[in-house]
Amino acid sequence: MRSRFDEQLAGLNNSLIEMGALVERAIARATKALTSQDADTARSIIGGDAIIDEKEKEIESLCLKLILNQQPVARDLRQISTALKMITDMERIGDQAADISELCIFLAAQEYIKKLEHIPQMAEATIKMVTDSIDAFVKKDLELAQAVIDYDDVVDDLYVMVKKDLIELVHADVKNGEQAFDLLQIAKYYERIGDHAVNIAEWVIFSITGKHKDKQVL
């Protein structure tokens, strides 16, 4: 009975890795669409968000079946509960990638007011955070989960840099205002992706220790 349960938990981990790969790819492709001003790629990302949503439903169904059929307790229950929390954040990351893509379509026909530097760096940092947070769950790696939380400072610092650069451009020429606002909104979406990765890492810590920042224990 336990071996069957362990197989199902391994299947859950594999599904989480697959969903993680989907959202990581969505972030990377959205960034490519932004830097290359590729509206067609941006549209395909928006269309592909439904695949991430379906993956979320698939994992949610698997988790509920495990809870109902296996009646897990203690650490096993925490692991399944954490998976349910993780997929919510991963689905929202997919939504953020789609939101970035919508703005990419609007900006595709415009000449950028500034060479994009810090925003692609934000994207790279958030992809790392998402990847590491899911790896931390699968490997039950407390140190890696904490490293994800700490790494959010990198994303926050880059966001401040983007904001500062865009404010300076608007001060230099008010005509830069509309595009500056759109680029700042894109940077904000990346910053939110980082926040979702932090949420995942915090739930990973909960799955291992039974402790969460909100003092929840299971």
Please report, for the chain, the start and end positions of each structural domain, with discontinuous segments joined by +: 2-209
Instruction: Provide the CA 32 distance to its chain's centre, in angstroms.
Output: 16
Task: Determine the Cα–Cα distance for residues 183 and 54; give it in Å rounded to an integer.
Answer: 30
Q: Which amino acid is at 34?
A: L
Amino acid 214: pLDDT: 67
What Cα–Cα distance (Å) separates residue 9 from each residue in 114, 144, 159? 48, 21, 37
Amino acid 1: pLDDT: 55
For the chain, 218 residues long, give each residue's pLDDT as a single digit of tens.
567 888 999 999 999 999 999 999 999 999 999 999 999 999 999 999 999 999 999 999 999 999 998 888 888 999 999 999 999 999 999 999 999 999 999 999 999 999 999 999 999 999 999 999 999 998 999 999 999 999 999 999 999 999 999 999 999 999 999 999 999 999 999 999 999 999 999 999 999 998 887 655 55
Residue 5, phi then psi, degrees to nearest 5: -65, -45
**CB contact set of 170 (below 8 Å; sequence gap of 6+):** 176, 177, 180
**CB contact set of 1 (below 8 Å; sequence gap of 6+):** none
Is this model's pTM higher than 0.85 or not?
yes
Q: Classify the C-alpha dihedral 105-110-113-114 as positive or negative.
A: positive
Architecture of the structural domain at 2-209: Up-down Bundle (1.20)
